[in-house]
Copies of this chain bind each other. A is one copy, B any other.
């Protein structure tokens, strides 16, 4: 078996994103490199490398001499990110192999229905939603686009834990997923793309009230 040999900076990045999902870091808080490096058991060098990639994805921001901090959240930015992801995923759907979409459409529908039934843990909900979208876009032939979507979504993870605990919005999301799947089954690619865009716009509005206004 080929043992895993990944750069430390990537493992660190993953770990930080995991902690971000858990809500360990409040938006706007500074990062103490030495302390965090010690806590992770690594040196500052690969940590800083990870921080720089995260800054490139918009998760962090850096100021000269002041180091890194988790980028503050705002309704404005969340709207912006949703608009971007909506456009990118719609493009990805457009760039997908029709055969793939036909094949996975039933799975997508079933997953969406299963999901609306049993309300699970918040962690599971997030993961499920991500996996659903990943499956939807799995047939996209534009590799750079998929990478870009992943990157932009990383920036959105700062918002994910803010909505934790709300159950009704998720039921709405499941319904919308059903709609998208139904459009695909009906071979209506245009309608599916529209439903997908709606899903993001609605998702945005659903979470909007949860986001504290820029103070």
Contacts and interface: CB of A to CB of B under 8 A. Distances in A.
Interface of A: 5-7, 9, 45, 48-49, 52-53, 56-58, 62, 64-65, 77, 80-81, 83-84, 87-88, 90-91, 95, 142-145, 147-148, 151-152, 155
Nearest to A88: B87
8 contacts: A52-B52, A52-B53, A56-B57, A56-B151, A77-B143, A84-B91, A87-B88, A87-B90
Contacts of A6: 64
Task: Point out which of A7, A144, A155 has the most chain B C-beta atoms below 10 A from its C-beta.
Answer: A144
**Majority SS at the chain A contact face:** helix
Contact of A87 (B9, B48, B77, B91): B91
B56 A56 contact: yes
A203 B142 CA distance: 18
Contacts of A143: 77, 80
A49 B56 CA distance: 11
A152 B148 contact: yes
A148 B152 CA distance: 9
Nearest to A151: B56
Contacts of A145: 80, 83-84
B53 A84 contact: no
Nearest to A140: B80
Contacts of A65: 5
A142 B49 contact: no
A144 B59 CA distance: 12
Contacts of A148: 84, 148, 152
A142 B65 CA distance: 28
A29 to B, nearest CB: 21
Given A6-B64, A45-B45, 4 more contacts: A7-B62, A58-B147, A83-B142, A87-B90
Given A53-B52, A87-B88, A91-B87, A77 B144 contact: yes
